[in-house]
């Protein structure tokens, strides 16, 4: 199969997968608030939606590396995700029912991206450095389309219909997944898996994952409460969608230029810049709520908070984990993401009403700085591959 053909198929799945994320992330907590949940309950539900990232990625990573059938599990997980949105629209929205469905959704949702990242890297092969950013940017475009279109739609229909919109997009992603075959260059079924502990003991790997945890801990108030924070300040769903989209547009631009940055600057320097700019971002978000232009500036920092950091993560995982460990390496990346956001969401939800959103975001900015203590274990020379 030609790289050109698979390039577009991979891009299409990223588009539909992130269209789901772009519909879910900015508007889900507004849906929960509309259903009568308070901020403490929303924080708990947000953490539950991420809770299974503590263990699910390793289960899925083990299954993927053991079976060698990564796309099979991506398809199964995408179908279950669509079914969950149908159930949420049907069952009574009690705290217990939503919590249970979020746990199931999260368990299967964790099977999708971590394994599909591996599928993409295997399919691109030796051209991954040149083509990965071009393929991955279509996920960002899907996010933007989801945010803008759903934000505009929700200005005209009740937000209680959000699960139906999510169901429609998830079913499209499931159908699209059948256009992508198992990657030809990926390891097949393995009887005995290579151990991870020797890899995790390496200072570069251990330090990077600690930095990821801290960075995502600081992101938790943003992912869980940014839309609610702006809504209270008087922003419409269209404006909220535009602000979320700004971050993803900046991310797309970064994907286009990240390879050049990585070719000229060390991981140590680039990760330090990501941390410092992210700290500034949360301070701007918290302190200048009423200034929409400053909010747009803060959102543009997403190019570094996520875009560049993600590109570095993919390099570190592919450089330090063997081909037979890629499923579990991607799973660990996903796990640390979930651990940071889930823990931060519980804390933010617990203190939101007593401290206020402004203070929470200012504290998030301070938390990010702690990641600088671990950057010295990262390479201070340019990585050639």
**Cα–Cα distance for residue pair 174/213, rounded to 1 Å:** 30
Diameter of the chain measured on Cα atoms:
58
Helices 3-34 & 39-51 angle (0-180, nearest 10): 150
CB 226 within 8 A of CB 29: no
Please report the pLDDT score of residue 1 as a whole number: 43
At residue 353, the pLDDT reads 86
- Closest to 24 measured CA to CA, from 131, 173, 137, 199: 173
Beta-carbon neighbour count of residue 72 at 10 Å? Answer: 15
* pLDDT for position 17: 92
Please tell me whether residue 289 adopts helix, strand or coil conformation. coil
Kindly give, in sequence order, each residue whose CB lies less than 8 Å from that of residue 5, ignoring residues fewer than 6 positions away.
none
Give residue 124's pLDDT: 81
Report the distance separating Cα 97 and Cα 103, nearest Å: 10
Q: Six-digit token pair at 261?
A: 């940055």
CA separation for the pair 302, 300 (Å, rounded) = 5
Measure the CA–CA gap between 214 and 233, rounded to whole angstroms: 28
Q: Give the C-alpha separation, 282 to 365, whole Å.
A: 5
Which residues in the chain land under pLDDT 70? 1-4, 49-50, 53-54, 65, 68, 110-111, 185-193, 383-385
Alpha-carbon distances, residue 197 vs 117, 187, 201, 329 (angstroms):
22, 20, 6, 11
- The CB density around residue 382, as the number of other CB atoms within 10 Å, is 12
Distance CA 219, CA 265 (A): 25
The pTM of the whole model exceeds 0.75: no
What whole-number distance in Å separates Cα of residue 248 and Cα of residue 254? 10
CATH number for region 3-377: 1.20.1250.20
């Amino acid at each position: 199969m030609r790289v050109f053909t698979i390039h577009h198929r991979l891009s299409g799945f990223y588009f539909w997968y992130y269209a789901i994320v772009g519909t879910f992330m900015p508007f889900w907590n507004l849906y929960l608030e509309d259903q009568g949940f308070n901020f403490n309950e929303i924080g708990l539900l947000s953490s539950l939606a991420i809770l299974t990232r503590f263990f699910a990625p390793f289960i899925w990573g083990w299954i993927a590396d053991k079976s060698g059938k990564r796309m099979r599990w991506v398809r199964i997980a995408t179908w279950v995700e669509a079914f969950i949105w149908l159930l949420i629209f049907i069952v009574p929205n009690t705290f217990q029912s939503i919590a249970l469905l979020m746990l199931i959704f999260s368990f299967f949702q964790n099977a999708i991206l971590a394994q599909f990242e591996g599928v993409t890297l295997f399919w691109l092969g030796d051209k991954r450095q040149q083509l990965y950013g071009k393929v991955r940017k279509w996920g960002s475009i899907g996010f933007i389309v989801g945010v803008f279109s759903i934000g505009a739609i929700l200005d005209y229909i009740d937000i209680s219909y959000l699960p139906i919109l999510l169901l429609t997009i998830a079913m499209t992603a499931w159908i699209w997944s059948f256009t992508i075959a198992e990657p030809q260059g990926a390891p097949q079924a393995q009887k005995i898996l290579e151990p991870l502990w020797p890899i995790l003991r390496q200072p570069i790997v251990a330090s990077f994952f600690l930095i990821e945890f801290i960075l995502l801990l600081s992101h938790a108030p943003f992912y869980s409460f940014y839309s609610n924070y702006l809504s209270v300040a008087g922003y419409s769903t269209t404006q909220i969608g535009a602000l979320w989209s700004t971050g993803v547009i900046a991310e797309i631009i970064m994907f286009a230029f990240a390879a050049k940055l990585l070719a000229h600057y060390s991981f140590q320097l680039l990760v330090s810049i990501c941390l410092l700019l992210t700290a500034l971002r949360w301070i701007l978000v918290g302190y200048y709520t009423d200034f929409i232009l400053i909010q747009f500036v803060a959102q543009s920092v997403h190019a570094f908070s996520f875009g560049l950091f993600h590109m570095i993560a993919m390099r570190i995982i592919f450089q330090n984990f063997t081909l037979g460990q890629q499923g579990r390496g991607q799973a660990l990346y996903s796990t640390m993401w979930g651990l940071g956001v889930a823990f931060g969401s519980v804390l933010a939800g617990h203190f939101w009403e007593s401290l206020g959103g402004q203070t929470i975001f200012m504290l998030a900015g301070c938390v990010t700085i702690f990641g600088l203590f671990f950057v010295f274990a990262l390479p201070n020379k340019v990585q050639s591959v």
